[in-house]
Structure 1
Amino acid sequence: MPRYSDADLLEEIRRVADVADTDSAPSLQNFRDHSDIADTTVLRRFDSWNAAVVKAGFEPNDPQQRIPTEDLIAELQRLREAVGHAPTIDEMIEQGNHWPSTYKRRFGSWAEALDAAFDDINGEAVFESRAETEPDDPGTPGPHVSGETLLEDLRALADELGEPPRFKEMVEHGDHRARTHTKRYGSWAEALEAAGLDPDARSGGTQQVSTDQLLADLRRLRDELGRVPTATDVVEEGTHGIATYQRRFGSWSDAVEEAFEESDA
């Protein structure tokens, strides 16, 4: 069963529209800026951002008009400087500010977008050579890495550890980037669930985690980070999933308030 229902996601889109104070449908960037839910969860569930906002009751924005072509090209050039080579689709998903499908609609293909942005490369050749020469490199998992491969990586590491792995354990021991799992499935807990693993079944079995344990892990993160943890911190470094806090306390903000008001009292 998904951690967020379709109704939950659509209500979150409406909430973001209110917070961002938009005159029309909220943009994908608005959602990234104002929501603790990963945009990939919405895109995976509804196939596209425009399809999601239509279901949420908005008139869709025209992505061709919303983002100028020069901005799309500038973002490719910025990302190339950051990664040291013509960026792959996965690198745009993980580190970029625009969705790869926007480039495909505007330019016809990812390779043609690279050709438009860079004078010194052949986009098709660069893209294909990286896929051929680095298929198993955990540092650059391109679009050729299937979801099942990522899930098998999770299951294999769980077998080695004797329990579902934490985000940091995947960083240290996994065959693919831990962040690729969270981008693909929406959160670390959702990736574990997709692999058939219980995100709460660590160090002691599958019994429901207690409220005290949930609050204690938030305080542990605060002590380690030196600040109140964000939802992203919990996704990447927490012992329990964000949805567990939301179910138990009603919302992420209520969980934070209870954890730190009590501890500071």
Structure 2
Amino acid sequence: MSRRIYKTRRYTSEDLIEILKQKAKELDRTPMRADLRQAETIVKRFGSWNKALEAAGIPIINRISNPYTKEELIKILQESAKVLKRTPKKAEIKQADTVARVFGSFSEGIIAAGLKPTRRSGNRKPYKSHKEISEQEIIKEIQKKALELGRTPKNFEVNIGSLAINKFGSWNKALKKASLEISKKNHTRSEILQLLQDYAKKNKRTPQQKDIPIHHGVYKRIFGSWNEALRAAGLIPYYKNNQELLEELKRVSQELGKVPTVTECRQLNLSVATYQRRFGSWNKALEIAGLPIQKKAYTNEELLKILQDRARTLGRAPKCNEVKQSYTISRKFGSWQRALEEANLLIIKKYSYTKEELIEIVREKAKELNRAPKSNEVKQVNQIYKKFGNWQRVLEAAGLPVFRRVEYTKEELIEIIQKKAKELGRAPKCCEIKEINLLIKEYGSWNKALKAAGLPVFKKIVYTKEELIEIIQKKAKELNRAPKSNEIKQAPSIFRAFGSWSKALKAAGLPVFKNIEYTKEELIEIIQQKARELDRTPKSTEIKQVTLICNKFGSWNKALEAAGLPVFKKIGYTKEELIEIIQEKAKELERAPKSTEIKQVTSIYNKFKSWNKALEAAGLHTGN
């Protein structure tokens, strides 16, 4: 009978608990999923990360904490009400989620602060559509609010504001029907320009859209956009168009008396990445701006002479980090070693082991470990794979035991299940049997294996729509709000039955979570507000609306650019820089570094396609 060889390791629950404990001891804190390679296995085995921590007796990190006391939250609500001269809305309070968590709901927090809730009281009829309410009822409601405020109300100040707009076509038409004065200020072009210039003069900076109390639609209607309004006022917008970028490039070149280098651009806060993105490449931007493109082309003879001159200076064959043109040389000749060969200079050859030497190395390692070594425990693993094809063959050649899969008959597998059932006093679950993969392979599914062992089969609970609605409503009562899909165990059954979570909430008579629609200007304002708060460019993970922002602008960096903030740049290393990094590490280690010992390994693979090619380009041998 042919025997198969183990390829992956199977961990028992005890093994995983031990791994968690060891990691907690090593870190001196509760480990996170990112800290362990086996995180996915742990979650699958225990059901969740927290359950695994609990099983290991490790304290669970409670991520939800209330940084505010009830008194502090009440004070925040009251101060906001003072400023607004009315009860604040949820969207107007930064700590709204904390308020809801501490008091049970945002409305309860408002009541605790001694303020009048803005929501419709329960005894009033909630209109679902403008078809259910007459024009007369809407007019009466608007006039009542106008009397209460002593002025013409705004649409959001009236409970049926959105219904009025749907009924009459616009809020102004509804006000007209209610015989109320339409409070609309028509700003002229000259008035807006004056406002912008006055603000810039007073504050010594270009205003942001939120600094001027005019609706964004006005700028769009009169100037085409907010940035065009700034330009018309003679102000520099945070976002620059292509022409402005080219003008700036020309100005900097004129000041320096030459085309700026990438380093000089960074020092002058000139974003090379922006030019590359807008014009395709830095050279293309220089070409469009009418500036000279600096490019030095060497012949093979010139490059060989450079190598020979450097060798004479050093008294030996140079390493690639000792020659400025190393990248050009490696590219022209295929590799650094070939270039040295062409220049008739001594080259460092990598050592190649014979099969016998490799067998001896494996045997020595087995002696040291007192067992057959694993492939990752022998440095010369790459050469072993090249010579023998796989790890098992070298173990066999070295006369060492090979890891082999245990083969079970059907009867033995059934006996394993029955023994476990006897031990537990019930039919075992699949996660309670070590040989689960072999069983499923043999029988097709866990239930078929149980059936073959003469044990009761686990049946899926099939819920009716009514039962699922009851589950949702019960959870809503418990949470004092509409539940989220990740808060209900039966979520997959709910999705299958109703098609979506929103439809299920509707069927349960609960409010549906609606996505807030933001304009580009509002999203830019959110980013800028966060930047001011952090006193730096925010990361995407620090903004709640990141998905909406990326959908609107195409990417996080494009959004930052639109907000006039410095963009997070990926460090683009040249081949020379990567070679220098490898050589520095080699100097530090006094040997050729491994790929795991260099942070920039991904960039190195992208540039050189393999680790050995990178080592070769760095003048280091790839043998062990």
Same fold (TM over 0.5): no
Structure richer in helix, relative to its length:
1
The TM-score normalised by the length of structure 1 is 0.38
Higher relative contact order (CA 8 A, sep 6+): 1
The higher radius of gyration belongs to 2
The TM-score normalised by the length of structure 2 is 0.18
